[in-house]
Copies of this chain bind each other. A is one copy, B any other.
Amino acid sequence: MIKVVEVSLRDGLQNEKLILPTHKKKALLQKLLAAGVKEIEVTSFVHPTWIPQLADADQLASQLPFAADVNYRALVPNKKGIERALQTPIHEYAVFISASESHNRKNIHKGIRETFPVLKEVVEEAAGYGKKVRGYVSVVFGCPYEGKVPPSQVVSVCEQLFKLGVYEISLGDTIGVATPTQVKEVLTLLAKEFPAEKLAVHFHDTRGTGLVNAYVALECGITTFDSALGGLGGCPYALGASGNLATEDLLYMLHGMGLNTGIDLDALCETSRWLERELRKKLPSKVLQSYPKKKHRS
């Protein structure tokens, strides 16, 4: 069983010009649940002025459709964020840090070293409430300001994150530059230090390598994959970043390889068609583009 973490509501929508209203986000959640999605990153408790698209975090997170076995997740950058998150039924939090100093400063306005104490507060506070925390590491395979990131630096950041108490780390190719050799190199190195089941991958498809990198990660023993409906999204703070790996494309490959995700690809494509209408734009997923029109209009 492969765990697919749907990040469209957060990493997808945060980069859209059109701000999806809260009731539409709820409708999207309902459709994702109906398609069998169990792991959903819903929003981010950053300051509302940072990302206006997610300014309804508190409101949305307080109105999550109930589903027994669904794991709702949200990004929590600091103590203020976790205070807000704790007022909601969100199950799992995520903290984030970059593998490169420059990207961390641009993104979080702090050096890597000064960021850890901030994350520590979040993880400890969460633990007090029995909440699990995921760690995100950005620009693992390349930084828009520094270029290639030394794999040893990635290992060091991951080590410190695990020490803080995160249960899992998602390795982000934030600007979508990774190639298979590099993914294999970094994951092989990390697998020597940490169990593969504690690692997830978060690929962007900026240069078309999202899916092949996911395949290589799968071969390295990774079983948790972040992806976004339709290939929505990108990072607003990373130059040249474009869409996440599309959930449809990931599922087409995984299912075609005989692997189970528990998600209905047809229902997901229908959901993407709906989202395309709401956002008034075509989404980049290739599977979506080749999905027969007649099926959607029924």
A166-184, CB < 8 A from B: 176, 179-182
Q: A208 touches which one: B180, B258, B286 (CB < 8 A)? A: B286
Closest B residue to A254 by beta carbon equals B179
Chain B residues contacting A287 (CB-CB under 8 Å) are 207-208
Stretch from A25-33, A34-42, A193-201, A209-217 contacting the other chain:
A209-217
B215 A252 Cβ-Cβ under 8 A:
no
**A180, A206, A252, A289, most chain B CB atoms within 10 A:** A180
Answer yes or no: A21 CB below 8 A from chain B CBs: no
Q: A257 touches which one: B180, B215, B289 (CB < 8 A)? A: B180
Answer yes or no: A164 CB below 8 A from chain B CBs: no
Chain B residues contacting A289 (CB-CB under 8 Å) are 242
**Smallest distance from the beta carbon of A235 to chain B beta carbons, Å?**
13
Chain B residues contacting A6 (CB-CB under 8 Å) are none
Residues A242 and B290 in contact in the complex (CB < 8 Å), given A208-B211, A253-B212: yes
Chain B residues contacting A286 (CB-CB under 8 Å) are 205-208, 242
Residues A252 and B181 in contact in the complex (CB < 8 Å), given A242-B290, A290-B176, A290-B240: no
Residues A181 and B256 in contact in the complex (CB < 8 Å), given A207-B249, A290-B242: yes
Answer yes or no: A244 CB below 8 A from chain B CBs: no
Answer yes or no: A246 CB below 8 A from chain B CBs: yes
Chain A: how many interface residues by the 8 Å CB criterion? 30
Answer yes or no: A8 CB below 8 A from chain B CBs: no
B176 A208 Cβ-Cβ under 8 A:
no
Chain B residues contacting A182 (CB-CB under 8 Å) are 256
**A180, A208, A253, A257, most chain B CB atoms within 10 A:** A208
Closest B residue to A240 by beta carbon equals B290
> 30 A-B residue contacts at CB 8 Å?
A176-B290, A179-B252, A179-B253, A179-B257, A180-B215, A180-B256, A181-B258, A205-B286, A206-B286, A206-B290, A207-B249, A207-B252, A207-B287, A207-B290, A208-B211, A208-B246, A208-B252, A208-B285, A208-B286, A209-B252, A209-B253, A209-B256, A211-B211, A212-B212, A212-B214, A212-B215, A212-B253, A215-B216, A242-B286, A242-B289
A residues near B, CB below 8 A? Answer: 176, 179-182, 205-209, 211-212, 214-216, 240, 242, 246, 249, 252-253, 256-258, 285-287, 289-290, 292
Q: Which 10 A-B pairs have the closest CB atoms?
A: A179-B256, A208-B286, A208-B249, A212-B212, A181-B257, A212-B215, A206-B290, A211-B212, A207-B287, A207-B252
